[in-house]
Amino acid sequence: MKSLMPKKSFVLLGERRTAQLNGESIRHHHRWTEFTTEEPTSKKQEEMKRNALLLFLWALALVTNVRCASKSREKTEFQDSIVVFFRPIYSSKVVSAKELIMMSNKVPVYDTLFVDRGDYNSIKNFIENKEVIRTDVKGIPEVYLKTKRGTVFLTQFNPLAVDIDGSPLAISMGMAYRINTCSKMYNYYTKEEISWDTLFREYSLPEDYHYHYDKYYQEFKNNGHKLDSIFIVKKRGVKLWLIARE
């Protein structure tokens, strides 16, 4: 019958022999110790747990480092921005400036655009140092512009602007065009829609123009339900983020 006890062996830990050194006898002894050839299971388990813990801590440190770097970069690069919100639809129903703000608060930023510092500062200055004017022509709030210190509402593709109370603001055709080209809002409208208003009669449509929703209309042309979903997305609105390029 085989023994269930672990096999034992011996190992020589130290060796002492008798030798002659300068005529003196030096006595060395053999010293042995006993050990088992089978490593305890508990020791293996402890080592596996330790390795798993080290792997977890390494992964946690990596994720934390990435998140901290991302937040730091966001604070550094995106601490100053211009929000541009609009609804690329035409409706007979007029939406107030305050309603436009509430709509903007309900949708996430769809795209971030980096613009030249000069253009950025010019648009920011227009928003934060707006000038109320007296005029018989009053704009309709269709585009919402926001910085940390100001808000302005534009009539899309027209040199018309109002404040949150609906008072007319001074805006040049050049400024209206600059805002459109920097934010590329025109890409969310068809060429026909763009031609209805005055801005792109005065200026030519940029060469990089492409209708953003065209690919979806082509893809979903045989699916009425999905075509309806495009209109719903447009009705909710598009929020863009303008950042100055360093």
> Is 215 within a domain?
yes
Average pLDDT over the chain reads: 79
- Distance, in Å, from the CA atom of 61 to the CA atom of 52, rounded to the nearest integer, reads 14
Give the per-residue pLDDT at 54. 66
Give the per-residue pLDDT at 214. 87
**More reliable by pLDDT, 17 or 131:** 131
State which amino acid sits at residue 63. Answer: V
Give the per-residue pLDDT at 62. 57
Give the per-residue pLDDT at 244. 95
Burial of 139 (0-12, 13-18, 19+ CB in 10 A): buried
* Ramachandran class of 157: left when φ > 0, alpha when ψ lies in -120 to 50, beta otherwise: left
> Is 64 within a domain?
no
Which residues are within 8 A (CB) of 123 and not within 5 positions of it... i.e. 6 or more apart? Answer: 82, 145, 175, 178, 179, 182, 242
Domain count, the chain: 1
> Is 141 within a domain?
yes
> Is 98 within a domain?
yes
> Which of 10-14, 113-117, 118-122 bottoms out in mean pLDDT, i.e. has the lowest?
10-14
* Residue 168: domain span: 80-245
Give the per-residue pLDDT at 82. 97
For residue range 145-179, list pLDDT tens digits in order.
Answer: 999 999 999 999 999 999 999 999 999 999 999 99
pLDDT score of 117 more than 50:
yes
> Is 48 within a domain?
no
Residue recorded with tokens 């100055």: 244
Cβ proximity of 200 and 194 under 8 Å: yes
Q: What's the rounded mean pLDDT across residues 20-42? A: 45
> Is 16 within a domain?
no
For residue range 225-239, list pLDDT tens digits in order.
Answer: 777 888 888 899 999
> Is 18 within a domain?
no
Q: What's the rounded mean pLDDT across residues 3-9? A: 46
Residue recorded with tokens 């934010």: 183
**More reliable by pLDDT, 8 or 230:** 230
> Is 42 within a domain?
no
Q: Kindly list the distances between the CA atom of residue 210 and the CA atoms of 72, 155, 176, 206, in Å, as whole numbers in the listed order.
A: 34, 21, 20, 9
> Which DSSP helix (H) or strand (E) runs through 62?
helix 41-77
